[in-house]
Structure 1
Amino acid sequence: MVRRMLVVLAAALLVLSLAPPAQAAQGEVYVALGDSAASGPLIPNQIGPDYGCWRSDRNYAHLTAQAIGASVLRDRTCSGAETDDLYNSQSTDLGDVPPQLDAVGPDTTLVTVQIGANDLGLTDFIEDCLNLLPPPVGDACNDDYVVGGQDKWRVGTDALRSRLLTLVSDIRARAPQARIFMVGYATYAPPNGCYPRVPIIRADANYIRATLMYFNQMLAEQAAAAGVGFIDLQTPSADHSPCASSGQRWIEPYVPTSPAVPFHPNARGMRGFATAVTAAVTSVL
């Protein structure tokens, strides 16, 4: 009996010695695509080789890759990116960078993509609504974007729907085995805003909030239509908008108090986003 057990144990040890390490077998090849909401401009440390992308080694892609033990991370997120820049070279202040989709291949097992806000110019829209003086001296901005009874931002948002479905299809064609997740955008304005701490008057703050909620809803709907995951960053960041205290905010206001671009995530925000992204990508294996 003892001799038989030793033979069995020896055989088992031989099998284990020939098997690949568990980490290698389960290691993800993770490709992160997206714009400055994903890249983390000015958050230390900014890394190359594409310095014009203003990409941080503490953005949510890097933190998620570390949390899930990814064997490879190809972070191609780039400040200023639009959907076209996933297919074509993007011009930055420090030179052109390759199309983001070039990083996606047959070995890719996980893709996150946060894109679309720059197609509409939503960050510029938020900054356009800054108002150092409240009415009647200062003017509200929300009525500037409704022309002929049509809301410019909703029309533009709806125009992105088919493009996002095509994008998911193109990612699938390049990486048939990959799990794909669209990532939404954070909360940039709480109900009624917080004038004058963030100098956007109540009506405009509510308009910005409604516009971004509609945009995130569109992303979630298109993710569902394409059969891919959607990662909600709006909900977990609800109490961490630019109106929150400096120790609580995830998105910096017009005058940042942490290293970050105005109305972009800070390091604390990236950690919060990484928690949400990690939870989502590990729930679908």
Structure 2
Amino acid sequence: MRTRTSLGLAVTLSCAALVTVVGVARDGVGDTATSPTPPPRGPYVALGDSYTAGPKIPGRHGKPAGCDRSDRNYPALVAAELGLERAEFRDVSCSGATTGDLSAAQDTDDGTNPAQLSAVSASTRLVTVGIGGNDIGFGSLITGCVKAGVRYQLKSRIGDSAPDRAPCRERQTSGGTDAVETKIEATSGRVADVLGDIRRRAPEARVYVVGYPTILPARGADCGPEMGLAPGDVTYLRQKEQQLNTMLREAATDAGAGYVDTYAPSDGRDACAKADVRWVEPLIPAAPAAPVHPNERGERGMAQAVLRAVRAAGRRGSPRGP
């Protein structure tokens, strides 16, 4: 069992370095255009990491406290919108979780979270799982890229750096292969194993893999001091997130599960967007949220995406489950 920080908490830097360099869904959960359909018959279990848990978004609920779950995260909003009773909903997501923490207990800075899959049973009728970012070390990757961006910007000020340089990408691909791509490929099998385990435990459940929302903009030039990254690395990290989401989509399809795309509806609402539209906070959050994590607006948007998927399956009939 391991103690780890969540995706965004791993990107915390000293204030001195940080300050200098440091279809679209509407915000309300109930605003979806699709007509409501009956919710799944029976309990809903939410599995996942900090993008599911919603760290630093008030208020905290559940145990252990170290998982830092918000009662305004997307699972809580989905359960409320579906009209589920408290006994019909279990959120066991935990900040810092990897795929391994779904089948084994996870130590946190404040308590131990039981294996998340232990909450899934034959009576479960809906499962959402948002996992994979910590398996590829995305938080530490961003930390390293920001440090490389600090050095890049210092060199730029003295005219010693090309404007299209991507120092982080260069380091990740220096051995002739892309280290991040390799980690994504390795994580694919672990996600497949998780989905197989869910299916064995809850054969009648509708299962949805929830992808990650847009973290960085399409153009590196559109991301300024909010993230402190070299422009080329903004593009590189965006591509890696897209590859991660593609892997999650393929794993879901192969397992007969649904995939919830949160990337497309959040495009243009990334950590470098204006504070009043973004779903993901930058390194120094302006709203209550962990660094480089969804804020409350983002969790609402993710909930919308999940609800659309659940309601669409209710109309046409899910290929796996009721």
Q: When the two structures are superposed, what TM-score results if normalisation uses the length of structure 2? A: 0.78
Partner of 2:273: 244
Paired with 1:181 and 1:48, the residues of 2 have a C-alpha distance of 22
Amino acid at match of 1:218: M
**Relative contact order higher in (CA < 8 Å, ≥ 6 apart):** 2
Partner of 1:182: 209
126-135 or 43-52, which moves further after superposition? 126-135
185-194 or 250-259, which moves further after superposition? 185-194
Q: Which has more radius of gyration?
A: 1
Post-superposition Cα deviations, 1:83-127, rounded to whole Å, max 9, x if no partner, equal: 110011100001211000010001100000011110111022122
Cα displacement (A) at 1:241: 0.2
Paired with 2:226 and 2:103, the residues of 1 have a C-alpha distance of 40
Spell out the pairing of 1:123-162 with structure 2 (5 A cutoff). Answer: 123-130=139-146, 131-132=149-150, 134=153, 136-137=155-156, 140-162=167-189
Spell out the pairing of 1:102-121 with structure 2 (5 A cutoff). Answer: 102-121=118-137
Paired with 2:113 and 2:243, the residues of 1 have a C-alpha distance of 31
Shift >6 Å, 4+ stretches: none
Paired with 2:197 and 2:226, the residues of 1 have a C-alpha distance of 43
How large is the RMSD of aligned CA atoms in angstroms? 1.8
Post-superposition Cα deviations, 1:223-280, rounded to whole Å, max 9, x if no partner, equal: 1111110001111110110111111111000010011110001011111111111111
Partner of 1:281: 310
Paired with 1:123 and 1:204, the residues of 2 have a C-alpha distance of 14
Paired with 1:258 and 1:281, the residues of 2 have a C-alpha distance of 29
Label 1:196 to 1:26 Cα distance change in 2 as closer, same or farther (>3 A).
closer
Partner of 1:32: 46
Paired with 1:51 and 1:261, the residues of 2 have a C-alpha distance of 15
| SS of equivalent to 1:55 | coil
Determine which structure has the larger strand proportion and give its number.
1
Amino acid at match of 1:235: A
Partner of 2:106: 90
119-128 or 270-279, which moves further after superposition? 119-128
Amino acid at match of 1:128: G
1:262 matched to 2:291: yes
Q: When the two structures are superposed, what TM-score results if normalisation uses the length of structure 1? A: 0.88
| SS of equivalent to 1:236 | helix
1:75 matched to 2:91: yes
Label 1:45 to 1:201 Cα distance change in 2 as closer, same or farther (>3 A).
same
Contact 1:40 1:266 in 2 (8 A): yes
Contact 2:66 2:111 in 1 (8 A): yes
Paired with 1:196 and 1:39, the residues of 2 have a C-alpha distance of 27
Partner of 2:199: 172
Cα displacement (A) at 1:163: 1.6
179-188 or 142-151, which moves further after superposition? 142-151
**Tell me, which stretches of 5 or more residues in structure 2 are unaligned?**
1-36, 315-322
Cα displacement (A) at 1:148: 2.5
| SS of equivalent to 1:74 | strand
Amino acid at match of 2:209: M
Spell out the pairing of 1:190-209 with structure 2 (5 A cutoff). Answer: 190-193=217-220, 194-209=223-238
| SS of equivalent to 2:153 | coil
Q: Which of the residues 230, 247, 263 maps onto 2:259?
A: 230
Amino acid at match of 2:76: H
Paired with 1:24 and 1:195, the residues of 2 have a C-alpha distance of 45
Paired with 1:209 and 1:135, the residues of 2 have a C-alpha distance of 23
Paired with 2:228 and 2:42, the residues of 1 have a C-alpha distance of 43
Amino acid at match of 2:299: M
Contact 2:217 2:267 in 1 (8 A): yes
Percent identity of paired positions between Structure 1 and Structure 2: 42
Cα displacement (A) at 1:26: 5.7
**Count of aligned pairs between the two proteins:** 263
Partner of 1:163: 190
Contact 1:28 1:69 in 2 (8 A): no
Amino acid at match of 1:146: T
**Tell me, which stretches of 5 or more residues in structure 1 are unaligned?**
1-22
Contact 2:280 2:293 in 1 (8 A): yes
Paired with 1:31 and 1:140, the residues of 2 have a C-alpha distance of 41
Partner of 1:62: 76
Cα displacement (A) at 1:179: 0.5
